[in-house]
Amino acid sequence: MVPISEKDWEFFSSKLIKREFAKKSIILKVGHKENYLSFIEKGIVRKCIPQEFDDLTFEFAFVNNFVSAYDFFLTQEPSTYQLETLTDTILWSVSNYDLEIIYDKTEIGNTIGRLASEDLFMKKSKRELSLLTQSAQERYLNLFTEQPELLQFIPLKYIASYIGVTPQALSRIRKRIS
C-alpha cells in the first residue's frame, strides 16, 4: 500500500498476528471489546446485528481490505454488533495496544493507521449514501459490479438484508434484471 523501510517493516510485522477462522466463525461477539484492526488476506467477513429471527447485515469486507468494529476499536467499549466469517478466512491483525506503539516508534505507522481509517470511513460513507440515494435494485447491481464473485459465497438472505429488503423482494429484483 505504501513504501516502507526495512526497519519499519520488521517492527510492524513483528506486531502482526495471523488469525485463521473457519467459515461461519464469529470473530467478535456482541458485548465484547474490539481489540484488533485486521487486514483480510483470504475470505469474506460480514458485520451484523444478531436478531431473534434474521440478523441485520450492514457490511461485507473482502480480500485486501481492512476489517474491524472500528468504532469500538477506537472507544474500547463493548461492541453492539458482531463480525462473522462467511468463508474460511485469514486475517493479519494488530492489537489496539500494539498499533499505538507502531504509531509512536515507526515513520510509517501513522500513514498505515490513516489509510486503514480512511478505507473504513469511505466504505461506511458509501454505504450510507447508497441507502439514501439508490433503490434496492441499484444497490444490488452496484454490489455485484464491485464484487461479482459474491453470489458464490454470500447467502441471498444476507444480501437482501444488506440492501435493505426482504428475501422475497430480492427474489423479485433478481427476476426483473435477469
Q: What is the per-residue pLDDT for 46?
A: 96
Domain layout of the chain by residue ranges? 6-123, 134-178
Q: φ and ψ at 51, to 5 degrees?
A: -130, 165
Domain 6-123 fold: Jelly Rolls (2.60.120)
Query: What is the spatial distance between Cα 139 and Cα 141, in angstroms, rounded to a whole number?
Result: 6
**Taking Cα atoms as reference points, which of 88, 97, 163 lies closest to residue 130?**
163
pLDDT tens for the 178 residues of the chain, in order:
678 889 988 999 999 999 999 999 999 999 999 999 999 999 999 999 999 888 999 999 999 999 999 999 999 999 999 999 999 999 999 999 999 999 999 888 888 888 889 988 998 999 899 999 999 999 999 888 887 777 778 999 999 999 999 999 999 999 998 8
- Burial of 141 by CB count in 10 Å (0-12 exposed, 13-18 middle, 19+ buried)? middle
* Strand ordering across the sheet containing 56-61: 26-28, 82-85, 45-49, 56-61
Q: What is the per-residue pLDDT for 167?
A: 93
Cα 143–chain centre separation? 14
Nine-digit cell string for 110: 501513522
Only one residue has cell 426483473, namely: 176
Q: What is the per-residue pLDDT for 138?
A: 94
Q: What is the per-residue pLDDT for 159?
A: 92
pLDDT digit string (tens) for 79-114?
A: 999 999 999 999 999 999 999 999 999 888 888 888
